[in-house]
Structure 1
Amino acid sequence: MASQAGVSTRHLSFVETGRTAPSRAMVLHLAEHLDVPLRDRNTLLVAAGYAPVYREEPLVTQAMLDRVLRAHEPHPALVVDHRWRLVQANRAVEIFLDGVAPALLEPPVNMMRLGLHPDGFAPRLRNLPQVRAFLLPRLARQAARTGDPELHALHEELLAHGQPGDPPEPTDIALPIELTYRGAELTFVNTITTFGTAFDVALAEVAIETYLPADDETVAFLNSTPPAPSTPR
Structure 2
Amino acid sequence: QLTHDEQPGIEIDAQLRLIYIGDLVKTIWYLIENKIADNEFRITPTAEARVTEILALLQSFRTQYFEKGIIPDLTDPFEKNLFNTFVCYIDHESYFPFKLKMNSDERGTFVETVKLGSGGQVSFSTTRPGVTRGNHFHTRKAERFAVIKGKALIQLRRVGTDKVISFELDGDEPSYVDMPVWHTHNITNTGNEDLYTIFWINELYDPADPDTFFEQV
* TM-score, shorter chain, exceeding 0.5: no
Higher strand share: 2
Higher helix share: 1
| TM-score w.r.t. length of structure 2 | 0.30
| TM-score w.r.t. length of structure 1 | 0.28
Higher relative contact order (CA 8 A, sep 6+): 1
| Larger Rg over CA atoms | 2
